[in-house]
């Protein structure tokens, strides 16, 4: 299949705002996609190259991209940046620049979808000495073969900003329509496979019965189920009656996969972090008495003297460490608390009630006290006992308490009313930094004010909810500037536009309705709490969640 065919779909999607029209456009296209390309195309339709569980990532920021464009178009990088700033969109600017370059039509050829994918894969696999030059050359070769309209979407894909208004929900509906299967069957298959390519190919080849046969795979992570903020302990118990209480540990979520003696550990954002956590992997291999299992828990950095949790940034230092890992293990020891099981000896467990899953987990884990154990739990219907449990959790330095529905299944990637979190502070938001403003005076030379965006659940678009410049120390300003500068796409009048990559946790006084921001909401007196390196932009809070918190805020009043 020629890449230009996919580009024509992008153009049709970008030309309409109707969700129904977009769904039909995608469904019609999927019907014509050859089966061997169906594992590639769905990700490309939502602006991704590889599924989330894959270890592959392009690793190309605006800097490398502009060097490739400069080489292909024969203009200085500075001029590339000027044209991007003038257009206000990298894709449109590259389309214009490619249209102006001298065309050697004698050697022109048609780009194929498979060829584009293999080039992206080659870029992702380029590591070590000289890897940046190899990435630039491969990208330049791709752009040199591309038509201007193809170049527009190639660079948007590279930067993760496709902008055609297709998110996972719409793609799910389109797959169902394309292959005449139910939306629920597609949704469940995606929960388990965590790969729309596998789901689409199975739906086309084997229909609904094939989707039902998709199994979890040890070594392929699935998205974690998310908790809702509890309006109050009393209201949750009115809804659930008897429930399971667990400590909300102040750590980082981990998903542990075990097959035989082999253990793999995945972070909340589905990255393989096994090499950074050899202590947890070793304990899991000894403690989990099963041939095959996928379990979930929290890794907590504990101060050995006070027995209280250490700062979240210490946890991220462990997760990010690639060298001298053993030294870091000694410096920042971890304790692991397991609280759920998703797969056991060939059986998918997510449809079982939580009470049964917890029972199965208990049977296969040989606890190592203070190192690797089950999350502390109390099952009760007594609100007084719940308040006491909550107070004990806070006194030990943890974030709060979880309240879990004993009868509930596990819904990967969803924030559903099956478990609630109780915290002593107002619910924060995890938002993407999409722009920044250069500071003046004492803050000159630093990117000191940040434009924040939430994700639109339907379109995948990042919509602004405000700006923040407080809650950041000088040391943090330097860190933020260092992290954000490589993400700069263009700059105009001191305001920079950034490749969406960095997620931050933001506290605020309240949420207000606002016509000034695309989301329709604004945060009043926001402040940065911390960088969330454990979250990707796809895991940032949604506009729908902002709206939900706004409504809850009004009810409290």
Question: Which residues are catalytic, by number?
Answer: 248
540 φ/ψ sector (left φ>0, alpha ψ -120 to 50, else beta):
beta
**70 contacts: CB under 8 Å, gap ≥ 6:** 76, 77, 79, 80
Question: 196 and 187 in contact (C-beta within 8 Å)?
Answer: no
How do 503-507 and 527-531 pair as beta strands? antiparallel
In sequence order, what DSSP letters do the residues of 366-420 get, joined into one string? --BTTTEEEPPEEEES-HHHHHHHHHHHHHTT--EEEEE-TT----TT-EEEEEE
For 38, the 3-state DSSP assignment is: coil
Question: 119 and 141 in contact (C-beta within 8 Å)?
Answer: yes
Q: 10 Å Cβ neighbour count for 324?
A: 9
How do 462-468 and 447-455 pair as beta strands? antiparallel
Q: 10 Å Cβ neighbour count for 212?
A: 13
Q: 10 Å Cβ neighbour count for 6?
A: 22
Question: 292 and 218 in contact (C-beta within 8 Å)?
Answer: yes
How do 415-422 and 226-229 pair as beta strands? parallel
Which H or E element spans position 119? helix 113-125
For 548, the 3-state DSSP assignment is: helix
Phi, psi at 487, each rounded to 5°: -95, 0
Question: 261 and 285 in contact (C-beta within 8 Å)?
Answer: yes
Q: To which residue do tokens 């214009």 refer? A: 96
Phi, psi at 15, each rounded to 5°: -85, -10
Three-state secondary structure of 54-98:
CCCCCCCCHHHHHHHHHHHHCCCHHHHHHHHHHHCCHHHHHHHHH
Task: Copy the structure tokens of residue 101.
Answer: 């370059």
In sequence order, what DSSP letters do the residues of 302-318 get, joined into one string? B-TTT--BPPHHHHHHH
Phi, psi at 292, each rounded to 5°: -135, 130
């Amino acid at each position: 299949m020629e890449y230009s065919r996919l580009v024509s779909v992008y153009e049709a999607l970008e030309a309409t705002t109707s969700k129904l029209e977009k769904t039909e456009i995608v469904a019609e296209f999927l019907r014509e996609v050859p089966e061997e390309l169906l594992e590639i195309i769905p990700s490309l339709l939502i602006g991704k190259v590889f599924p989330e569980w894959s270890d592959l990532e392009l690793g190309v920021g605006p800097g490398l991209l502009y060097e490739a464009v400069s080489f292909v178009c024969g203009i200085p990088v500075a001029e590339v940046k000027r044209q991007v700033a003038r257009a206000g969109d990298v894709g449109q600017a590259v389309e214009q620049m490619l249209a102006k370059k001298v065309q050697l039509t004698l050697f022109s050829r048609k780009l194929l979808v498979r060829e584009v994918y293999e080039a992206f894969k080659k870029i992702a696999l380029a590591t070590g000495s000289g890897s940046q030059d190899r990435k630039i050359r491969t990208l330049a070769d791709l752009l040199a073969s591309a038509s201007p309209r193809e170049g527009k979407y190639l660079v948007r894909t590279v930067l993760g900003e496709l902008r055609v208004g297709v998110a996972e929900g719409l793609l799910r509906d389109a797959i169902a329509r394309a292959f005449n299967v139910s939306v629920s069957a597609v949704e469940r298959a995606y929960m388990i496979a965590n790969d729309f390519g596998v789901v689409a190919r199975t739906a086309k080849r084997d229909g609904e019965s094939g989707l039902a046969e998709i199994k979890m795979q040890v070594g392929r992570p699935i998205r974690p189920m998310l908790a809702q903020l509890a309006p109050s302990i009393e209201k949750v118990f009115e809804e659930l009656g008897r429930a399971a209480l667990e400590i909300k540990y102040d750590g980082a979520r981990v998903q542990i996969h075990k097959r035989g003696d082999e253990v793999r550990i995945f972070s909340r954002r589905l990255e393989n972090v096994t090499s950074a956590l050899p202590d947890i992997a070793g304990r899991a291999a000894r403690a989990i008495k099963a041939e095959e299992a996928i379990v979930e828990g929290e890794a907590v950095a504990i101060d050995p003297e006070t027995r209280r949790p250490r700062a979240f940034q210490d946890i991220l230092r462990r997760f990010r460490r690639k060298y001298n890992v053993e030294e870091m293990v000694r410096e920042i020891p971890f304790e692991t608390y397991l609280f759920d099981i998703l797969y056991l000896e060939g059986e998918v467990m997510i449809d079982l009630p939580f009470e049964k899953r917890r029972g199965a987990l208990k049977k296969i884990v040989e606890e190592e006290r203070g190192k690797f154990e089950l999350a502390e739990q109390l099952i009760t219907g007594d609100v007084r006992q719940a308040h006491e449990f909550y107070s004990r959790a806070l006194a030990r330095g943890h974030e709060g308490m979880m309240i879990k529905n004993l009868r509930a299944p596990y819904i990967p990637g969803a924030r559903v009313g099956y478990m609630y979190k109780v915290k002593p502070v107002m619910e924060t938001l995890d938002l993407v930094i999409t722009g920044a403003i250069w500071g003046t005076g004492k803050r000159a030379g630093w990117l000191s004010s940040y434009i924040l965006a939430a994700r639109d659940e339907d379109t995948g678009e990042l919509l602004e909810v405000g700006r923040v410049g407080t809650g950041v120390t000088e040391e943090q300003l330097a860190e933020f500037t260092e992290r954000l500068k490589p993400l700069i796409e263009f700059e105009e009048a001191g305001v920079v536009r950034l490749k969406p990559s960095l997620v931050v946790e933001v506290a605020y006084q309240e949420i207000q309705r606002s016509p000034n921001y695309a989301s329709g909401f604004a945060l009043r007196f926001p402040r940065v709490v911390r960088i969330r390196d454990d979250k990707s932009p796809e895991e940032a809070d949604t506009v729908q969640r902002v709206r939900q918190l706004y409504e809850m805020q009004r009810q409290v009043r």
